[in-house]
């Protein structure tokens, strides 16, 4: 059962070959055995999980059937969960117990999914390695001492290690796709506005979007379908029907031998120039040939602005929004408050200095600077203009292709601490993912090979707005003809 797909778990639960309570115990015991070495979880909610599993068993006994009913999963610790602490990986919220559920949490509770707890992340989702968490770094299950990617590194590591079959994540600049690639699993970020941001603690509001992790595209489809839908409490939520993702993947292709016949895959020349690790070049080359063997036609496209301008535009805009969003953490209403202060100003300063880590403070300072008088036009407004150029790049590209095929990261996972003292090098790790968020597009990462050191490598598929069905379907056809998504790391007991 540990390595079973969500569809296989669904069949076993519906046939009463296993109960939801037994499944919850199975994965909780696996967390006990292995998470000390990986540190994917911040909070394991054993009591809540068993109560949710018992409720799922009651619904199953009544004959109820639903895609995620009784299926274990876990939340990235950025979604507010009533009665369970929500930390954002920060000292600032170390003991915060949310009084309400995020919309995503509510939807998955209604679906009957069984949450086992909350997963580690870079502090306030600011990072690419899950090293900035106040609670300590998460390790890549494929190789101890290496990063799992970030900011949703705990989510990716937990699914890769099969501590849970599914996990939620958030993606502001690649924080679902990059850790999915580093951990050898599948991750999808949908079109901006598809998943409600209500109760998802904000980093950069114009880029933040909830996403899904699973071993395969088929698993991701089940979770993302349940997470999606309009929410009137989120002003950026799209008022359109939730996508029917699972049915599209279950449909048989018209041409079984060439299921992707007619698909035009755009290959951005700028993304494949100097700078890619040789192992990434090799794995992506193999994946491209596999896609062509399945009937896809690869065409060269240009994403010049996206390749050249995404990093400066993103880190100006995201830092500005972070500076605004994190101003609420002042030590007054909730969150960390310094023990020593003389007046209100010193309480603010001391509480924020103690509560926020170095990377969060860095981005707040950058954001405050670019929003300040005299610099707003030169930096913030200019970054907004660059954002428009990037979006125009994608619109032009999709006139020539249906989906875009690209790297997720220039390199496989690196050693923990290797880039900790060089924030610019860390930022450059997101060079192939940031533009997707700036344009509000959906993107997916699926495993396509391994480095010589045995670390997973992922390929990225990018689509036009509302193409989640196509992205998942194409990745699913690839996975029906390859086994990269079936491979699992070998874990030793803690």
Output the pLDDT for position 493: 61
Distances (CA, A) of 352 to 210, 326, 356, 433: 27, 10, 6, 30
Sign of torsion over alpha carbons 150, 178, 138, 228? positive
State how far the Cα of 369 lies from the Cα of 358, in Å rounded to an integer: 17
State how far the Cα of 152 lies from the Cα of 176, in Å rounded to an integer: 6
If one counts every other C-beta atom within 10 angstroms of the C-beta of residue 286, the result is 16
Output the pLDDT for position 494: 52
For residue 148, which of 489, 402, 470, 473 has the smallest C-alpha distance?
A: 489
| CATH code for the part of the protein at 1-494 | 3.90.1300.10
The residues, ordered by sequence, that sit 6+ positions from 151 with a Cβ below 8 Å of its Cβ are 121, 122, 125, 126, 127, 128, 130, 170, 172, 175, 179
DSSP 87-135: -TTSGGGTT-B-SS--HHHHHHHHTT-EEEEEE--SGGG--SSS-S-TT
For residue 207, which of 302, 128, 322, 102 has the smallest C-alpha distance?
A: 322
Which residues are the active-site residues? 76, 151, 175
Output the pLDDT for position 48: 98
Please state the domain extents for the chain. Answer: 1-494
pLDDT in tens, the chain (494 residues): 999 999 999 999 999 999 999 999 999 999 999 999 999 999 999 999 999 999 999 999 999 999 999 999 999 999 999 999 999 999 999 999 999 999 999 999 999 999 999 999 999 999 999 999 999 999 999 999 999 999 999 999 999 999 999 999 999 999 999 999 999 999 999 999 999 999 999 999 999 999 999 999 999 999 999 999 999 999 999 999 888 899 889 887 888 889 999 999 999 999 998 899 999 999 999 999 999 999 999 999 999 999 999 999 999 999 999 999 999 999 999 999 999 999 999 999 999 999 999 999 999 999 999 999 889 999 999 999 999 999 999 999 999 999 999 999 999 999 999 998 899 899 999 999 999 999 999 999 999 999 999 999 999 999 999 999 999 999 999 999 999 999 999 997 65
pTM listed for this prediction: 0.97
Q: Tally the residues of the chain.
A: 494
If one counts every other C-beta atom within 10 angstroms of the C-beta of residue 342, the result is 8
For residue 322, which of 378, 362, 379, 372 has the smallest C-alpha distance?
A: 362
Q: Give the burial class of 300: count Cβ atoms within 10 A of its Cβ; 0-12 exposed, 13-18 middle, 19 or more buried.
A: exposed
- Could you tell me whether strands 186-189 and 210-214 are parallel, antiparallel, or unpaired per DSSP bridges? antiparallel
Output the pLDDT for position 252: 78
> Across-strand partners of 188?
212, 444
Output the pLDDT for position 255: 86
Query: Which H or E run includes 223?
Result: helix 217-227
Compute and round to an integer the Cα radius of gyration of the chain: 21
């Amino acid at each position: 059962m540990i390595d079973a797909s969500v569809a296989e778990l669904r069949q076993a639960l519906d046939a009463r070959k296993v109960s939801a309570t037994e499944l919850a115990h199975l994965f909780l015991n696996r967390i006990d055995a292995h998470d000390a070495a990986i540190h994917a979880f911040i909070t394991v909610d054993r009591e809540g999980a068993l109560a949710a599993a018992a409720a799922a068993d009651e619904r199953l006994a009544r004959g109820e059937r639903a895609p995620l009913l009784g299926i274990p999963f876990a939340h990235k610790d950025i979604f507010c969960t009533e009665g369970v602490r929500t930390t954002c990986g920060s000292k600032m919220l170390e003991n915060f117990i949310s009084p309400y559920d995020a919309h995503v949490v509510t939807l998955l509770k209604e679906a009957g999914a069984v949450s086992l707890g909350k997963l580690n992340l870079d502090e306030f989702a600011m990072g690419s390695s899950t090293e900035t968490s106040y609670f300590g770094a998460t390790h890549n299950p494929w190789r101890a001492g290496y990063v799992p990617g970030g900011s949703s590194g705990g989510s990716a590591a937990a699914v890769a290690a099969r501590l849970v079959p599914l996990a939620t994540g958030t993606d502001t600049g690649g924080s679902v796709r990059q850790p999915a690639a580093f951990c050898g699993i599948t991750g999808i970020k949908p079109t901006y506005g598809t998943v409600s941001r209500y109760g998802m603690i904000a980093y950069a509001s114009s880029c933040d979007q909830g996403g899904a992790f699973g071993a395969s595209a088929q698993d991701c489809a089940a979770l993302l379908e349940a997470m999606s839908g309009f929410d009137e409490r989120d002003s950026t939520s799209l008022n359109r029907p939730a996508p029917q993702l699972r049915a599209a993947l279950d449909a048989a292709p018209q041409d079984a031998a060439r299921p992707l016949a007619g698909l035009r895959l755009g290959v951005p020349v700028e993304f494949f120039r100097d700078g890619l690790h040789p192992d990434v070049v090799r794995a992506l080359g193999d994946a491209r040939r596999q896609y062509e063997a399945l009937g896809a036609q690869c065409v060269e496209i240009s994403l010049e602005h996206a390749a050249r301008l995404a990093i400066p535009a993103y880190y100006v805009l995201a830092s500005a929004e972070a500076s605004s969003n994190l101003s609420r953490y002042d030590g007054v209403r909730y969150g960390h408050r310094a023990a020593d202060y003389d007046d209100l100003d010193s309480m603010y300063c001391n509480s924020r200095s103690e509560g926020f880590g170095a990377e969060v403070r860095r981005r707040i300072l950058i954001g405050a600077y670019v929003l300040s008088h005299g610099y707003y036009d030169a930096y913030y407004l200019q970054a907004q203009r660059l954002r428009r150029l990037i979006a125009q790049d994608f619109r032009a590209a999709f006139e020539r292709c249906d989906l875009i095929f690209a790297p997720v990261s220039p390199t496989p996972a690196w050693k923990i601490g290797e880039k900790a003292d060089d924030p610019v090098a860390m930022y450059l790790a997101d060079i192939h993912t940031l533009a997707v968020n700036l344009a509000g597009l959906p993107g997916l990462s699926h495993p396509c090979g391994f480095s010589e050191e045995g670390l997973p490598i992922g390929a990225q598929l990018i689509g036009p707005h509302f193409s989640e069905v196509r992205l998942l379907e194409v990745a699913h056809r690839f996975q029906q003809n390859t086994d990269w998504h079936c491979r699992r790391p070998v874990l030793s007991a803690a």
